[in-house]
Amino acid sequence: MAKGSEDTLERTETRLGPQEVLVAGQIVVLKRKSTAALMFALLSACFAFQLNASMLSPALKGMETQLHATTAQIGLTQTAFFASAAVFSLFLPRLADLRGRRRVLSLMLLITAIGCVVSAMAPNVTWLFVGRIIQGVAGPVVVMCLILLRTHVTDPRKYALLLGIITSVNGGIAGVDAIAGGWLSENFGFSSIFWSMAVVAVFAALALQLMANESTVADPPPMDWIGTILLVVAVGSLYLVFNELAALESTNWGLIGILAVVAVIAFVAFWKTESKVAHPLVTIKYLRSRATWGLLLTTLLTLTGVFAVMNQIVPAIAQDTESGAGLSASHAPFVTLTPYALAGLAMGPVSGYLAGKFGYKRVLQVGLFCSVVGVVLTLALIKSENLPLLTGISILVGVAYAGMANIMLNGLCVVLSPADNPGYLPGLNAGAFNLGAGLSFVVLPLVQTALHEHGGVETGYTGGIVTGAGILLLAFAASFLIPKPQDSRG
């Protein structure tokens, strides 16, 4: 540890209150010691986020009718939520480092609940758009829960196990909440989904207040709002570029050009600002570190390679009456997305245990390699009506990606973060997750569409899948650039 950091910790120790202690360079108010109670609160918070992200999917068609909106307009409200989530993820973890993690996370959940109420009461698609943007405040909930957990659990093996449980449950509910959302929408209208989200968000905020300890970094500096704004503009512009590219035939190239220029200018300004200000959002030293760009590159490539394969191409094959299983839109998820999510749920705690024993990086690399194998095997689904095969391959990718790679990427962004700025890497990594998912829906459908036009439907499916597998292979190679965490098994 540098001498300056030691001096800061010594000064902080002399100012600690009667219930305050230093844990890995963090000030923690030790009022509550129950790990089980903390896990309940953190899981409640993760549920609140995941419901906002995926519970609405089966209700989108009905919302078009009830709000007299087009498919494109409703789709834009979904884009607004994920763009908002990506932007808030960039700086809220750092703000929580400085102002108090429990306080900021609880406020985020209450603001999310307000967004849910706005969406539930929306008389038209414009108000729904506003509500979904507000709901995007929940974007960094999961990584902030992992940081809170780390201030409570200091044993690396126990932390890895509990991390696996939190992240796997968060992913696993995505395979179930859509079913509940469909039932609520069909019986009570889409507003009932938003009211349910609001109730869970308020409950989670109360649970955090009652069951979690407050924590901050030692001797917190002021927030770098100029750097924050520049980074938000840069990443937000990039996200909108990818979203516009996903439109394919209706792409507005003029808008893409403007957004790309804005993104470059904002990032250059961000880099220069961070090298000059006294208390930067992210120091240049950290930005240049392999712990930062190695992890972000791996995350970006992983999401780009797998996301559209499992969320678009495989479901499309399952529903294709000529080149696939010919299932209905309501039945296809039961043999694709649901087993995929539940497999990740089952594997998550196992991955956490293995990470504590063998290291995060090794488990990540095994997960990435098996994800490549799983994605390649999806080629066997083309022209196949074999439902057990469809389910089996979905489970394999669920175990490898959702249950291993995804969880290790979330864990590494926490354990690789320095004690004086534990929120910067989780925030940037959340941005990489969102950008990778957006890029996946650009690159793979673009390849699929181009090959479809020249070689037919099956050639298009093959091209999209092979491209995804190739990008995942690059992610596997990039994972070797990630350094071993110093305070865990790595």
Q: Which of 163, 138, 139 is nearest to 150 (CA)?
A: 163
Q: Which residues contact 438 (CB under 8 A, 6 or more apart)?
A: 82, 239, 242, 243, 246
Dist CA 114 CA 205 (whole Å): 12
266 and 238 Cβ atoms separated by less than 8 Å = no
**Below-70 pLDDT ranges, the chain:** 1-25, 30-31, 172, 174-175, 248-249, 487-490
Task: Tell which phi-psi region holds residue 64, choosing left (phi > 0), alpha (psi between -120 and 50) or beta.
Answer: alpha
Which among 152, 144, 146, 147 has a CA at the least distance from the CA of 23? Answer: 152
Q: Where are the alpha helices (DSSP H) in 275-289?
A: 284-288
Non-local CB neighbours of 170 within 8 Å, separated by 6+ positions: 46, 47, 49, 50, 142
**Nearest residue to 120 via CA among 65, 73, 185:** 185
Cβ burial, residue 311 (10 Å; 0-12/13-18/19+):
middle
Q: Which two tokens stand for residue 459?
A: 């050639």
Closest CA to 228 of 286, 288, 269, 285: 269
Q: Are 403 and 271 in contact (CB under 8 A)?
A: no
Looking at residue 77, what is its pLDDT? 84
DSSP 248: G
- Dihedrals φ, ψ of 217, to 5°? -70, 160
Q: Which residue, among 222, 61, 197, has the nearest Cα to 132 in the 3D structure?
A: 197
pTM as predicted: 0.86
Chain centroid offset of residue 266 CA: 23
Provide the 3-class DSSP secondary structure of residue 114.
helix
Distance from C-alpha of 79 to C-alpha of 161, rounded to nearest angstrom:
33
